[in-house]
Amino acid sequence: MTSNSFGRLFRFTTWGESHGPAIGCVIDGVPPLIPLTEADIQIYLDKRKPGQSRFTTQRKEPDTVRILSGVFEGKTTGTSISLVIENQDQRSKDYGDIKDKFRPGHADYTYEKKYGIRDYRGGGRSSARETAMRVAAGAIAHKIISSRAKTNIKIRGALVQIGPHKINRDNWNWEETQRNPFWSPDQDAASKWATFLNDVRKSGSSAGAIIEIVATDVPIGLGEPIYGKIDSDLASAMMSINAVKAVEIGDGFNIVSTPGNEASDEMRIINGEPRFLTNTAGGILGGITTGEPIVVRFAVKPTSSILSPRKSIDRFGSEVEVITKGRHDPCVGIRAVPVGEAMMACVLADHILRFKAQCDT
Amino acid sequence: MTSNSFGRLFRFTTWGESHGPAIGCVIDGVPPLIPLTEADIQIYLDKRKPGQSRFTTQRKEPDTVRILSGVFEGKTTGTSISLVIENQDQRSKDYGDIKDKFRPGHADYTYEKKYGIRDYRGGGRSSARETAMRVAAGAIAHKIISSRAKTNIKIRGALVQIGPHKINRDNWNWEETQRNPFWSPDQDAASKWATFLNDVRKSGSSAGAIIEIVATDVPIGLGEPIYGKIDSDLASAMMSINAVKAVEIGDGFNIVSTPGNEASDEMRIINGEPRFLTNTAGGILGGITTGEPIVVRFAVKPTSSILSPRKSIDRFGSEVEVITKGRHDPCVGIRAVPVGEAMMACVLADHILRFKAQCDT
Amino acid sequence: MTSNSFGRLFRFTTWGESHGPAIGCVIDGVPPLIPLTEADIQIYLDKRKPGQSRFTTQRKEPDTVRILSGVFEGKTTGTSISLVIENQDQRSKDYGDIKDKFRPGHADYTYEKKYGIRDYRGGGRSSARETAMRVAAGAIAHKIISSRAKTNIKIRGALVQIGPHKINRDNWNWEETQRNPFWSPDQDAASKWATFLNDVRKSGSSAGAIIEIVATDVPIGLGEPIYGKIDSDLASAMMSINAVKAVEIGDGFNIVSTPGNEASDEMRIINGEPRFLTNTAGGILGGITTGEPIVVRFAVKPTSSILSPRKSIDRFGSEVEVITKGRHDPCVGIRAVPVGEAMMACVLADHILRFKAQCDT
Amino acid sequence: MTSNSFGRLFRFTTWGESHGPAIGCVIDGVPPLIPLTEADIQIYLDKRKPGQSRFTTQRKEPDTVRILSGVFEGKTTGTSISLVIENQDQRSKDYGDIKDKFRPGHADYTYEKKYGIRDYRGGGRSSARETAMRVAAGAIAHKIISSRAKTNIKIRGALVQIGPHKINRDNWNWEETQRNPFWSPDQDAASKWATFLNDVRKSGSSAGAIIEIVATDVPIGLGEPIYGKIDSDLASAMMSINAVKAVEIGDGFNIVSTPGNEASDEMRIINGEPRFLTNTAGGILGGITTGEPIVVRFAVKPTSSILSPRKSIDRFGSEVEVITKGRHDPCVGIRAVPVGEAMMACVLADHILRFKAQCDT
């Protein structure tokens, strides 16, 4: 029921504003006796944190997480886990510019209209800073997956398009995603993107991105029809990430133009095991995992905070122009990769526990 | 927590299998004193029911809904509303063919693996027959919207692509959607689709579709960040519909290749009112409605039940071929239009009540 | 979130009014492959149904339950189970008397004020008829318990007080509860109650009762602190039964006057097993089961529908007198025994599934 | 779904262990624009904090609350509110005694058996220290009530029994509750209790208590049948407080021995308004408020931590004796008064928002 909570059995609740004293989350439903340290979480946070390349914001946040409850002598106790990150780089500055003006593409206008009040400093609650806590929750989700899943699930993310430039899927190499600042699985694309983004930034503009998250070795049977389908939960999870405007599973929108006699995945017995010959379904049929890789893609719109002037209005009903100065990612989609991985982990952890409740004997 | 329930404050729970004695739903959270008759619901069900053109299944189901509770002397009482539709056209036939074989593209395999049992008759619980109850719930959602929204919300759906054939958006005419069997807003596209689908059916194949649902005159401020964003709820709603593989809001995936200095919607004061000059955001910013039309598109994969033989396996681990005889829609996406409209209505009704709870003074 | 639903993982949603066409419920979260027939449920309904002795209402309701979904070839499928009982003895009568008058002790006034409308026929939604669906849900809960609990849980209920007359606990004999019309574990008390209730009825009055529900052989570890404590859930469950005004666990209110050095249950190792020497705690410590019997008592107020005139008002603000004619139980508490047993079963089934989700390895 | 959360629309989630670095809670669903400062919360915490008289534990905790999110420029923003209290008086001591031994009457044994691990320091998560966050959440609930209720609701609590010693209800004086260390409404009882508790403490024992919480000027119509009845929610709320073993509404258990022709509250028109002549129902009929005062009583068992030796076992299966040294309340029930008030406030705030959602036009 809470709008700041995600998940059913593995459930986290986040809080905090971009420029408030801290951000944090409370995680409930975690099984006991799972080894957990702050370092286990920090490793995931470090993947997401800003300032790691010239293509992400230069805001410096050490983003050091503290565990305040739910862990005793290095193990989870089954009680609620509280995580907190103090906000450090709250650069004192004049917010006058955005205090009263609604930045185009941002949630300024809608928060103001809905609530009649908004913490305008850095976007407040609507800032992508909130996603740090998704990553932290995802770190614990990974621990639950390792501890409870019957298979050795692996979750990986990649950027497959920036602006109009797609990767060449023939070049796909997961290891390459660890070697360039874009999580690109295609080395050539990474080079092109670097040039492209430099131009974009110089022109005072920004670019969108498509992220693909793949989970392999997923056990068959996760997902609960009709309204707890795992694809439905993944769509909700990804669409809740800042700036996301689209989500697709498997072949997604492309399946529409595939003839029906090619669109379903055929099955054979291979090495004595049932196997699908293709995976247009993205690992999900009827809302339940098939055992094939879960494949989810989502679109992140171009960064709305740009140096180019945009027409807008202010709180008093006057027409204004808005230029967003400051340290902003030319392509926020890049930093959405670890966030998407985290949300996949959270959905899977939740469904693993749900499977245990209903279907384990 | 229930997997067969949708919504938070306006909430429905569905039950029933394709060839069981009946299907139904229970709807909770409905405000009292709203006029409601079976005819009010039937009118929506009739839009969805099969056998209305040669492009949808010829299975005849009168789909007559009965209200069993929650309404007294023609008005809602605030208690749970029970709706039921008896299954009538349960043609007695030999299910032997699908009893043991897993139909490609269907949920047969995943239900069997998850639950160890499945009602194989007509797809059982995984049948799109369940969507009749979404439409019924949607009819009541419309009533709540009329009764409680501060604006005169209008929800309409259209088919914008079948197979590879898109509409021409310059031809868009909402009235045309009521005049052809495809809910096409483009008369020309409707003609082409008729020819195309005839060919598809003759070839024993099927086609996918893209549906667009638009809600206009939506009040500003619906949607609850962070995990109750209205786009997140819409994504979950649409993705839970049978055969849906993708969902997008506003410009969706296309926004990725739009330059950042064009991707956000600028604002001006027009006739004394704040207005957006474009609507790439699809009426939602930060998970909250802007007042502009909400625009959602979703992709329905080609009907999996086709006459062409497909490779599969059976429950005993043998390799088999599957041909799905019987009365099937060559393009199930057509009948998804009223279902998508219903889900939009349910999400809006839910958020209207949620707004009242938190933000009404 | 739904007010007509109970439970988290084992969850049922009820619907229906006393004199509407039917009552029913939908049950979600039931594990698959559990054998279940209508007879399995009917046996519990028959314990509760009216007209079984002269101490309960003479309204005749066969209360025949039908399973409409979620069961295939005699086994649960893991999908939502729909149960329905048609209302048969809707004796056509003049409701004019209670249509406009608020019966004292009933929910007439509060429903009218809250909703502005009420189905006044037989109490509508507020009628104890709703409890039939709790008993039906409880029957399925019993099945889950048998299938999933690690111990052989036994749930039994008894009446321990009618009006001012308590049982003698030294006479406690569980088998006796099956031999008298009061579920009394004390044969002597049953005799006295028969005389007492005859007098009560003749005088146009009614009597209250205290019910005790005991669950034995409960596994250790059920219950989730802090707000999912099993005693908290039991309190909620029992207090939601019609006419219940009090709930206590173990020694309940009496523990207040017990000195602290006698109020906690000491432990010893007996036959190699940890055991409690007493059970003042009623089988629950910190919201978690101890393995000792769970003991819950609840108070049912005297039947409000009585022949003696009572002062009230009507919908139009006039002062009136109300006499409730018709067939009413002189002590509704008697029929609350199987309802209390059912709620205990539902809470235990829910927590067994919750334990599996979080704590099973 | 989360076990550490309470409430539906006004919902709080607590975290923290007795001797961990901090305790806290996250509160969701709070309407925007409500003035809120740390001082508003502190005033309630100060009522509950230890060390205020010789009848409560001498543990010194300033219990200073900090607001970390959800409030901007002194007003709520509609986003999640994070509250934290650092634990200061974590006196470094040897926990060896209780590390391995199960203290009788405590949750040591059940936490150990359920989770296989427990933070034994000061009771960890099962410590009554958690109730500080209930009081903090209750402070915000009070703010919502003031802002949103249609009447001027007043919530007050009193101690009505300690050990075997009851107050004399003829002496009831609400102002007296602010003048003695027991929240006693009866000055004479307070004197007797002082003597009694001194004796109890000297003897190394402890005493139980009964608390009564009364809410006056409650609007009619709060509470949602069937499973969201306000008495059901109050029962759940009070029973979830540490050491509570019984809850009753209005006349509670006593109504059982009241003849039916006296047990329902009659109505008259008084000064032009509908009024009840008595309030045996405790302000609730059919789970919905009547407008009369809501009256709830709950029983707190004697403090389990006492100096008298008690038989127990340890983690290794050996029989031991346990003496709980340290600073403990001889009657924990005293400090439960503000906790009960807080839970009443939380339930009312939640139902006020729920009423707005469904029943406000």
User: pLDDT band at residue B49, thresholds of 50, 70 and 90?
Assistant: confident
**Separation of alpha carbons B183 and B338, rounded Å:** 9
What residues of chain B lie within 8 A of the CB of D148, using their CB? 361
Q: What is the DSSP string of B307-340?
A: SS-EEEEBTTS-EEEE---S---S-TTTTHHHHH
Low-confidence ranges of chain D (pLDDT < 50): none
B326-330: long-range contacts at Cβ-Cβ below 8 A with a sequence spacing of 24 or more?
B327/B57, B327/B58, B327/B59, B328/B57, B328/B206, B328/B303, B329/B50, B329/B55, B329/B56, B329/B57, B329/B206, B329/B303, B330/A260, B330/B55, B330/B197, B330/B200, B330/B201, B330/B205, B330/B206, B330/B207, B330/B303
Q: Residues of D266-295 as b/e, b for ≥16 C-beta within 10 angstroms? A: bbeeeeeebbbeebbbbbbbbbbbbbbbbb
Nearest chain D residue to A17, by CA: D69
Q: Is the pLDDT of residue B244 over 80?
A: yes
Look up residue A70 and give its two tokens.
Answer: 């739910």
Q: Beta-strand (E) ranges in D116-272?
A: 154-162, 165-166, 209-216, 244-249, 267-270
> Mean pLDDT throughout C206-230?
98
**Separation of alpha carbons C146 and C36, rounded Å:** 12
A15: nearest CB among D2, D70, D116: D70
Residue C23 preceded by cis peptide, ω within 30: no
What residues of chain C lie within 8 A of the CB of D164, using their CB? 256-257
C221 φψ region: left (φ > 0), alpha (ψ -120 to 50), beta (else): left
The residue among B79, B147, B356 with the most chain D CBs within 10 A of its CB, best to mutate, is B356
pLDDT of residue C68: 98
Give the minimum alpha-carbon distance from B59 to chain A in angstroms, rounded to a whole number: 20
The CA-CA-CA angle for residues D312, A77, B1, to 5°, reads 115
Give the minimum alpha-carbon distance from A255 to chain B in angstroms, rounded to a whole number: 6
Q: Which of A61-65, A105-109, C304-308 shows the lowest mean pLDDT across its residues?
A: A61-65
User: pLDDT band at residue A88, thresholds of 50, 70 and 90?
Assistant: confident
C-beta neighbour count of B165 within 10 angstroms: 16
- Least Cα distance to D148 among D360, D353, D354, D359 occurs for D353
C227: nearest CB among D5, D200, D289: D5
What residues of chain A lie within 8 A of the CB of B306, using their CB? 260-261
Do residues D137 and D346 make contact, with C-beta atoms less than 8 angstroms apart? Answer: yes
The residue among D5, D13, D356, D359 with the most chain B CBs within 10 A of its CB, best to mutate, is D356
Pick the more confident residue, B208 or A88. B208
- Tell me the per-residue pLDDT of C111-163, one tens digit each, with 9 for 90 and over: 999 999 999 999 999 999 999 999 999 999 999 999 999 899 999 999 999 99
pLDDT of residue A108: 97
Amino acid at C259: P
- Tell me the per-residue pLDDT of C107-123, one tens digit each, with 9 for 90 and over: 999 999 999 999 999 99
Q: Is the pLDDT of residue A315 over 90?
A: yes
Q: Which residues contact D124 (CB under 8 A, 6 or more apart)?
A: A72, A77, A79, D17, D18, D19, D20, D111, D118
Q: Work out the burial of residue B239: count CB atoms within 10 Å of its CB; fewer than 13 is exposed, 13-18 middle, 19 or more buried.
A: buried
pLDDT of residue C58: 63
What residues of chain B lie within 8 A of the CB of A281, using their CB? 105, 245
What percentage of chain A carries pLDDT values higher than 90? 89
Question: In angstroms, how far is CA B334 from the centroid of its own chain?
Answer: 10
- Least Cα distance to A126 among A142, A146, A102 occurs for A102
Q: Residues of A168-199 as b/e, b for ≥16 C-beta within 10 angstroms? A: eeeeeeeebbeebbbbbbbeebbeebbebbee
Nearest chain C residue to D112, by CA: C221
pLDDT of residue A89: 65
A227: nearest CB among B4, B115, B203: B4
Classify strands C22-28 and B244-249 as parallel, antiparallel or unpaired. unpaired
Rounded to the nearest 5°, which phi and psi values hold at A21? -65, -30
Beta bridge partners of D268: D275
What residues of chain B lie within 8 A of the CB of C124, using their CB? 72, 77, 79
The residue among A2, A34, A356, A359 with the most chain C CBs within 10 A of its CB, best to mutate, is A356
pLDDT of residue D193: 97
Q: Which residues contact B54 (CB under 8 A, 6 or more apart)?
A: B181
Give the minimum alpha-carbon distance from D298 to chain B in angstroms, rounded to a whole number: 30
Look up residue C224 and give its two tokens.
Answer: 């989730």
- Tell me the per-residue pLDDT of C46-63, one tens digit each, with 9 for 90 and over: 988 766 777 776 666 688
- Tell me the per-residue pLDDT of B250-273, one tens digit each, with 9 for 90 and over: 999 999 999 999 999 999 999 999
Nearest chain D residue to C264, by CA: D105
CA distances from D94 to D17, D100, D122, D129, D316 (A): 17, 12, 11, 20, 19
User: pLDDT band at residue A58, thresholds of 50, 70 and 90?
Assistant: low
Q: Beta-strand (E) ranges in chain B?
A: 5-6, 11-16, 22-28, 65-67, 71-72, 75-76, 81-86, 154-162, 165-166, 209-216, 244-249, 267-270, 273-276, 284-285, 288-289, 294-300, 310-313, 319-322
What residue has token string 């974009």? A200
Give the minimum alpha-carbon distance from C236 to chain A in angstroms, rounded to a whole number: 19
What residues of chain D lie within 8 A of the CB of A3, using their CB? 28-29
pLDDT of residue D1: 52
**Separation of alpha carbons A219 and A40, rounded Å:** 24
Residues A5, D28: C-beta atoms closer than 8 Å:
yes
Beta bridge partners of B161: B166, B210
Nearest chain A residue to B230, by CA: A240
Do residues B261 and B318 make contact, with C-beta atoms less than 8 angstroms apart? Answer: no
pLDDT of residue A59: 65
C-beta neighbour count of D94 within 10 angstroms: 7
Q: Which residues contact B14 (CB under 8 A, 6 or more apart)?
A: A226, B4, B23, B24, B25, B130, B133, B134, B137, C80
Mean pLDDT value across chain A: 94
The CA R_g of chain C, rounded to the nearest whole Å, is 21
C358: nearest CB among A29, A225, A358: A29
User: pLDDT band at residue B292, thresholds of 50, 70 and 90?
Assistant: very high
pLDDT of residue D93: 65
- Least Cα distance to D145 among D347, D297, D5, D336 occurs for D347
pLDDT of residue C59: 65
Q: How big is chain A, counted in residues?
A: 361
Amino acid at A310: R
pLDDT of residue B190: 97
**Separation of alpha carbons B204 and D310, rounded Å:** 80
pLDDT of residue C88: 83
Neighbouring chains of C at 3+ CB pairs within 8 Å?
Answer: A, B, D
pLDDT of residue B91: 59
Residues C263, D301: C-beta atoms closer than 8 Å:
yes
Residues D354, B357: C-beta atoms closer than 8 Å:
yes
Q: Is the pLDDT of residue A216 over 90?
A: yes
Nearest chain B residue to A230, by CA: B240
> Mean pLDDT throughout A107-130?
96
D26: nearest CB among A13, A75, A79: A13
Beta bridge partners of D101: D314
Using beta carbons and an 8 Å cutoff, which residues of C are at the interface with A?
A: 1, 9, 29-32, 78-79, 148, 225, 353-354, 356-361
pLDDT of residue B334: 96
Q: Is the pLDDT of residue B92 over 80?
A: no
Residues B257, A102: C-beta atoms closer than 8 Å:
no
What residue has token string 């009235």? B175
Quick one: DSSP state of residue B21?
Answer: S
Using beta carbons and an 8 Å cutoff, which residues of B are at the interface with D?
A: 1, 9, 29-32, 78-79, 148, 225, 353-354, 356-361
**Model ipTM?**
0.97
pLDDT of residue D94: 61
- Tell me the per-residue pLDDT of B65-87, one tens digit each, with 9 for 90 and over: 999 999 999 999 999 999 999 99
- Tell me the per-residue pLDDT of B141-192, one tens digit each, with 9 for 90 and over: 999 999 999 999 999 999 999 999 999 999 999 999 999 999 999 999 999 9
On the CB side of C277, how many CA atoms lie within 13 Å of its CA? 15
The CA R_g of chain A, rounded to the nearest whole Å, is 21
Rounded to the nearest 5°, which phi and psi values hold at C238? -70, -40
**Separation of alpha carbons C304 and D264, rounded Å:** 6
What residues of chain D lie within 8 A of the CB of A98, using their CB? none
What residues of chain C lie within 8 A of the CB of B28, using their CB? 2-5, 13
> Mean pLDDT throughout C281-297?
98
What residues of chain A lie within 8 A of the CB of D68, using their CB? 15-16, 20-22, 24, 84
Nearest chain B residue to A263, by CA: B302
Q: Is D299 helix (H, G, I), strand (E, B) or coil?
A: strand
What residue has token string 């529908």? C305
Beta bridge partners of D11: D28
Give the minimum alpha-carbon distance from B43 to chain A in angstroms, rounded to a whole number: 24
Give the minimum alpha-carbon distance from C166 to chain B in angstroms, rounded to a whole number: 37
pLDDT of residue D62: 80
Q: Which of C262-276, C295-309, D314-328 shows the lowest mean pLDDT across its residues?
A: D314-328
pTM of the model: 0.97
User: pLDDT band at residue A49, thresholds of 50, 70 and 90?
Assistant: confident
Q: Is the pLDDT of residue A51 over 70?
A: no
pLDDT of residue C293: 98
On the CB side of D150, how many CA atoms lie within 13 Å of its CA? 11
The residue among D4, D26, D226 with the most chain C CBs within 10 A of its CB, best to mutate, is D226
